[in-house]
Homo-oligomer: A and B are copies of this chain.
Amino acid sequence: MKDKLQLMIPGPTPVPERVLLAMARHPIGHRSGEFQAIVARTTEQLKWLHQTSQDVLVLAGSGTAAMEAGIINVLSRGDKVICGDNGKFGERWVKVAKAYGLDVEVIKAEWGQPLDPEAFRAALEADSAKAIKAVIITHSETSTGVINDLETINRHVKAHGEALIVVDAVTSLGATSVPVEAWGLDVVCSGSQKGYMIPPGLGFVAMGPRAWEAQKRSDLPKFYLDLERYRKAAEGNSNPFTPAVNLYFALEAALDLMQDEGLDAIFARHERHRRASQAAMQALGLPLFAAEGYGSPAITAVAPANLDAEALRKAVKSRYDILLAGGQDHLKGQVFRIGHLGFVCDRDVLTAVAAIEGALVELGQPPAQPGAGVAAAAAILQG
């Protein structure tokens, strides 16, 4: 049997039927009153999701486009920035910053470990000249399933007083609380195929007042990613360039679903799935890759000890049609990742755990106790 794929990767994530049907609606004119009403409504919904009264802008592009926009709009050539790097996405923002001629200090942690807030505190406190213009950080590191301590690092940034914080919230927004305004997060970037539960193609950038101040001074060249153009257009509930109209239809439908569920329930569901996934993997004798206490609510990375992670992933795909994510770069074959982000229900987590156990049996490495994974997950889900 074909066509019964279950996505358990960190993006694209599963998409609800009503969002898919919204995608299939015939496009309308993007300068029409009807479309302006959708922009107005989704903008309010995006502010709700970001827990902010300030601007949240929508781009046609991937999460990387949103993050690049966030970086290049608030900085100028030669500006000193600190980039946190504990995975593939942290690495990527270092590359973006360097591509634009920024002076980048990298604070690294091993893949699987969280960034150390103390390292940020020390670097920021040592900067008595206030040369550091921004701290760029990945909240949930998709490549390793680690969530960084954004709240504490942000506190150190705030104590510095000058530096902005630019946050990659691509796999944290909609999975855990990112209180943009309460924490004073200056720039927060995300993408549609994650917690938003819609297909890829939209990027989002939340900008606070200090970010806009910096935007006025920024001299890095940009046009399509120039957020001032988006801000001005947004004043008239419009877009500076032709927006991805059908993805807007999907956005409205998905945000309706999210508002029906409520932020607290969404975050609790992701937290429950994180705990259930972790407990299940441990019960199956599969070590977690992320350091204890730093597992992302969006994704659980697993590093099986005596087993090719790709072989397991393929067994799960071929027999159960569940797509897990593999390890990236040097982790290929060592790690597989379970995405539990977005439109994922308890049943999906149980199913994935059961399929992983099935694959272990198939690969000749059954768990000590049959059914241990599902039992551990169920105990938490029914908690």
Contacts and interface: CB of A to CB of B under 8 A. Distances in A.
Interface stretch (A61-69, A104-112, A375-383): A61-69
A312 interface: no
A5 interface: yes
Interface string A215-232: 000001111111000000
A199 interface: yes
A220 B173 CA distance: 32
A183 interface: no
Interface string A183-219: 0000000010100000111000000000000000000
Nearest to A11: B242
Given A241-B65, A242-B191, A26 B30 contact: no
Given A221-B99, A242-B191, A245-B12, A60 B201 contact: yes
A338 to B, nearest CB: 14
Nearest to A19: B24
Interface residues of A, number: 52
A45 interface: no
Interface string A38-68: 0000000000000000000001111111001
Interface of A is mostly: loop
Contact of A27 (B12, B68, B101): B12
A242 B62 contact: yes
Interface string A11-40: 110110000110111111110100000000
Contacts of A199: 27, 244-246
Contacts of A201: 60, 201, 244-247
A305 B197 CA distance: 50
A241 B24 contact: no
Contacts of A28: 5, 7, 12, 323
A24 B27 contact: no
Given A21-B24, A193-B242, A242-B193, A224 B64 contact: yes
Contacts of A96: 223
A247 B221 CA distance: 29
Contacts of A25: 20
A359 B243 CA distance: 30
Nearest to A101: B221
A9 interface: yes
A104 to B, nearest CB: 13
A202 to B, nearest CB: 8
A23 B247 CA distance: 10
Interface string A237-254: 000011111110000000
A24 B191 CA distance: 19
A319 interface: no
A224 to B, nearest CB: 5
A305 B226 CA distance: 38
A64 B223 contact: yes
Nearest to A225: B224
A27 to B, nearest CB: 4
A357 to B, nearest CB: 22
A24 B249 CA distance: 12
Contacts of A323: 28-29, 32
9 contacts: A12-B27, A14-B26, A28-B323, A60-B201, A63-B242, A64-B241, A65-B224, A193-B242, A201-B244
Interface of A: 5, 7, 9, 11-12, 14-15, 20-21, 23-30, 32, 59-65, 68, 72, 95-96, 99-101, 191, 193, 199-201, 220-226, 241-247, 323
